[in-house]
Amino acid sequence: MRHTFSHTPLSLDYLPRAIKWLLVSNIAVYIIQVFAGRSFIYTFGLVPYRVTKNFWFWQVFTYMFLHGGLFHLLFNLFILWMFGKSVEDAWGTKPFLKYYFICGLGAALFIILTGPKSMMANIGASGAIYGILAAFAMLYPEAIIYLYFLIPIKAKHLAILLGIVAFLAGISGSGPGIAHLGHLGGLVVGYIYLKFPVWKYRFHLERFLPILHFPKIRLRNLFKRRVYQEKIGNLEKEVNRILDKILIRGIESLTPEEKRIMDEYTRRKNKNAN
């Protein structure tokens, strides 16, 4: 499917829901961070040692909302608006948010795997935003972006360039305090997620249990059938109780709920007869 790229002026009136929610939440968390101090960063930033040894798993999510300074925050939010708006317009709010957090979690995984004993706090939405850049480049590969507001470059080439830069910077250890491999992780996870959508293939248990001669019927249908049978069994028990009541006290003794049950039972019988 071809997508046409266009952009509107930066205004909250033109922002889609996910972008607006991410902008507001990141700004709100940054304000809290400023007043909370360093302990807030080491509690909610991504510290690999805390995740692997102390099981502070919430950090792989919360680190995306923290930033190292006002410039870091504004730059990330600008890039999010610049590339994310068109992606959300093409996909919709829920798929966009799902993809955003998957890329952020992928970046966190790269950071942890490449330094599981590190006590450095990694913060920022850059990994998720690199994933958004990958999505933008796949949706609008020929879109022209002005690098440093001067150099024209196609979106697909910019994504490749940033991936190479992040990889080389990560393995060389340049730019201390910057999680280059996290940036690369967000980009790579985003690309894999979009290029190889393995979640679209359904899992069928019978393919993996031939020795049991598992009947070729979906587990969902088995569950529905069992629920239906239990419901019918309960209905018949209730009908028998109501019939006994009619024999003893007469039909006038039935409550409105009991009359409804008998009507439902009669409809089912007539439907099965037809």
Alpha-carbon distance of 161 to 17, in angstroms, equals: 30
Characterize 12-42 residue by residue with b for buried, 16 or more Cβ atoms within 10 angstroms of its Cβ, and e for exposed.
eeebbebbbebbeebeebbeebeeeeeebbb
Alpha-carbon distance of 18 to 215, in angstroms, equals: 44
Residue in the block written with tokens 């101090």: 37
What is the predicted pLDDT for the residue at 1?
45
Q: Which residues pair with 147 in a beta bridge?
A: 151
**The two structure tokens encoding residue 46:** 């991504």
Closest CA to 84 of 31, 149, 14: 14
> Measuring CA to CA, how many Å separate 256 from each of 233, 242, 268?
21, 12, 19
Residue extents of the structural domains in the chain: 12-200, 206-273
**The two structure tokens encoding residue 223:** 């569950």
**The two structure tokens encoding residue 245:** 């009541």
- Distance linking the first and last C-alpha atoms of the chain: 47
What is the predicted pLDDT for the residue at 170?
55
What is the predicted pLDDT for the residue at 211?
40
pLDDT tens for each residue of 108-123? 998 899 888 888 888 8
Q: Does 223 score more than 80 pLDDT?
A: no
- What is the residue type of 5? F
pLDDT tens for each residue of 129-170? 999 989 998 888 888 777 766 778 887 888 888 777 766 665
CATH of 12-200, one of 2.70.150.10, 3.90.550.10, 1.10.10.10, 1.20.1540.10: 1.20.1540.10
**The two structure tokens encoding residue 1:** 């499917």
Q: Does 46 score more than 70 pLDDT?
A: yes
